[in-house]
Amino acid sequence: MSRSNMRMRTAARSLEPSSEKTATARGRPFAPGNPGRKLGTRNRATVMAASLLGGDVQQLIRKAVELAKAGDVAMLKFLLGRLLPRDRLVNLELPPMEFADDGVAALGVVMRAVSEGAISPSEGAALATLIRSYSNAIGLADVTQRLDLLEAKLKGII
């Protein structure tokens, strides 16, 4: 059998409907006329857990804190992960940014803070992203303003 015949047979087989079960169309999982769960209703497991705990919530929190203070590392990580803010506030004196070019000076301040250890590299990267976005917004506003001015001049001439 030649290669071209083999290719044609393979192509013909790929066009035939497969015997596999085709996936049903996705949509609302409810029957027509059934709107589903009312807004604001809680999951059954959540309601059961809340009823089982009842007034024991304060005692459970106290116990968790006691375990963490006693040296339970897993409980300490659990509590700290939920109680402490994930990001810390960074206080840097950035120059005012009125023009898109001012972003260079602001990035210089951020780089200096990272190199001196005042902020972490990830905090510096986050600040650099903010500065870049703000510089882009300033630049875009400037271009839009200049384009509007040129269009107004052209309309006056033509």
pLDDT on residue 52: 73
Q: Which helix (H) or strand (E) holds 5?
A: helix 3-15
pLDDT (tens place) for every residue of the chain, 158 residues total = 555 554 445 444 545 555 444 555 566 577 777 777 788 788 888 777 777 777 777 888 888 889 999 998 998 888 888 887 777 788 899 999 998 889 999 999 999 999 999 999 999 999 999 999 999 999 999 999 999 999 999 988 75
3-state SS assignment for residue 100: coil
Entry pTM: 0.47
pLDDT on residue 26: 60
CA distance 108 to 90: 16
pLDDT on residue 43: 83
pLDDT digits (tens, 9 = 90+) for 129-150: 999 999 999 999 999 999 999 9
- Closest alpha carbon to 128 in 140, 147, 150, 113: 113
Residue that the structure tokens 């015949």 belong to = 5
pLDDT on residue 104: 94
Other residues' Cβ atoms within 10 Å of the Cβ of residue 135: 19
pLDDT on residue 78: 87
pLDDT on residue 90: 84
